[in-house]
Amino acid sequence: MKEFFPEIPHIKYEGKDTKNPMAFRFYDPDEVIAGKKMRDHLKFAVAYWHTMCAGGSDMFGVGTHDKSLGADDEMELARRKAHAMFELLDKLSVDYFCFHDRDIAPEGRCLAESNERLDEISDIIAGLMKDTGKKLLWGTANCFNNPRYMHGAGTSPNADVFAYAAAQIKKAIEVTVKLGGNGYVYWGGREGYETLLNTDMGLELENMARLLKITSEYGRKIGFKGDYYIEPKPKEPTKHQYDFDAATVIGFLNAHGLSKDFKLNIEANHATLAGHTFQHELAFARVNGAFGSIDANMGDMLLGWDTDQFPTNVYDTTTCMLEVLKAGGFTNGGLNFDAKARRGSNTWEDTVYAHIAGMDAFALGLRMALKIIEDGRIDAFVANRYSSYNEGIGKKIVDGTATIEELEAYALNMGEVMTNTSGRQEYLENVFNSILF
């Protein structure tokens, strides 16, 4: 197929002083730092739904960015989108992509036709992957857009909807396996409720677990070796989403015997909607052995919804990459730009600038996180802060050998706690800044 974006060059690393807008300042894909190429530390992915599909429409207006690619019917558009996507991946030096079933092929008049359409387009994508070496970070199913899902998919009060969702997810997993996907994401689109006046919460939660179980087991049966991820989000579109945040999801997975097979896909904007920092959600997933993948974006602290902006806040990308490095780096996961250029940034050049900005912000975050680790002052401070657990009564507490009687005797003998030392928050914040700048 023809080149879709002749005006967009291959984006190259030119270093931080370049004035070329179509260049990277901090992302040098093949530069080896801390034993790995930057591209393998960061594992960037382009999100099909934003980059190839979202035209900037919102509830006050229609799209502003024409993404029709000169096609005059929806299947021709789907074919062109696949080629245009791979052109962008190549020009941006991004190795991975992610999609919902309905992003790559429009829904047909019935499930069978939708499945045929997926077969056709996934054949095209398989060919493009073979030619370019690009990889699928994860696939997923859009079980929230069609009116049939107005009350949820697995949590719908209507059993027919549950069956339809199960069948749709089965096909989406098959396509993910066909394309060698490293992961499969479940984002609970409309799995939540608006009012408890009409909701059987117990049954809905049980059914949500049933849908996860039956579809994920099927994936294993057909040879899916990647990771399953749940993507927490507290609200939007429903008032209360069941996958509220990392803690809620981990509790849910444990309660339903699913924790062995599921990890988390943490999205920055979802974290802040839940009243957490992005770093909190990543750390919570990590310490619970559930860190998997990341939807890299940012929200706007003044707005109460999911703005899905490209991430440019270097504090957040630095703390994020600190967590990724502490987790031992990505295995099957990566950094998926679940992000869109603003409605007023309505050209393909803007979409490219947006990816460059996000990639450079994360490249800088990686470089800064490594500097913080190498500097060692913050880690040494934290280790020292907990050093009372390395010996004496602290060691016995951690080992699980201290009895309650022993703790009581120790406390009675101590009289009063005399050794609480300062947490030194402001000092540490200044250390952090001094390393960054």
CB of 45 or CB of 283, closer to Co ion = 45
**Min dist. Cβ of residue 141 to ligand XUL (A):** 8
Q: Which does 134 bind (CB under 5 to 8 A by kind): ligand XUL, Co ion, none?
A: none
Residues that bind ligand XUL (CB under 6 A): 100, 140, 185, 187, 231, 233, 267, 295, 306, 338
Q: Which does 306 bind (CB under 5 to 8 A by kind): Co ion, ligand XUL, none?
A: ligand XUL
CB of 87 or CB of 231, closer to ligand XUL = 231
**Cβ 335 vs Cβ 294: under 8 Å:** yes
Q: How many Cβ atoms are within 10 Å of 403's Cβ, its own excluded?
A: 9
Residues that bind Co ion (CB under 5 A): 267, 295, 338
Q: Which does 101 bind (CB under 5 to 8 A by kind): Co ion, ligand XUL, none?
A: none
**Min dist. Cβ of residue 267 to ligand XUL (A):** 5
Three-state SS letters, the chain = CCCCCCCCCCCEECCCCCCCCCEECCCCCCCEECCEEHHHHHCEEEEHHHHHHCCCCECCECCCCCCCCCCCCHHHHHHHHHHHHHHHHHHHCCCEEEEEHHHHCCCCCCHHHHHHHHHHHHHHHHHHHHHHCCEEEEEECCCCCCHHHCCCCCCCCCHHHHHHHHHHHHHHHHHHHHCCCCEEEECCCCCEECCHHHCCHHHHHHHHHHHHHHHHHHHHHCCCCCEEEECCCCCCCCCEECCCCHHHHHHHHHHCCCCCCEEEEEEHHHHHHCCCCHHHHHHHHHHCCCEEEEECCECCCCCCCCCCECCCCHHHHHHHHHHHHHCCCCCCCCEEECCCCCCCCCCHHHHHHHHHHHHHHHHHHHHHHHHHHHHCHHHHHHHHHCHHHCCHHHHHHHHCCCCHHHHHHHHHHHCCCCCCCCCCHHHHHHHHHHHHC
Q: Which does 185 bind (CB under 5 to 8 A by kind): ligand XUL, Co ion, none?
A: ligand XUL
**Min dist. Cβ of residue 231 to Co ion (A):** 5
**Min dist. Cβ of residue 15 to ligand XUL (A):** 33
**Min dist. Cβ of residue 64 to ligand XUL (A):** 20
By annotation, the residues acting in catalysis are 100, 103
CB of 78 or CB of 185, closer to Co ion = 185
**Min dist. Cβ of residue 140 to ligand XUL (A):** 5
CB of 63 or CB of 237, closer to ligand XUL = 237
Q: Which does 140 bind (CB under 5 to 8 A by kind): Co ion, ligand XUL, none?
A: ligand XUL
Of 171, 192, 169, 98, the residue nearest 139 (C-alpha): 98
CB of 267 or CB of 323, closer to Co ion = 267
**Min dist. Cβ of residue 183 to ligand XUL (A):** 11
CB-based closest residue to ligand XUL: 187
Q: Which does 233 bind (CB under 5 to 8 A by kind): Co ion, ligand XUL, none?
A: ligand XUL
Specify whether the backbone of 399 is left (phi greater than 0), alpha (psi in -120 to 50) or beta: alpha
420 phi and psi angles, rounded to 5 deg: -70, 120
CB of 343 or CB of 377, closer to ligand XUL = 343
CB of 245 or CB of 338, closer to ligand XUL = 338
Distance, CA of 168 to CA of 57 (rounded, Å): 26
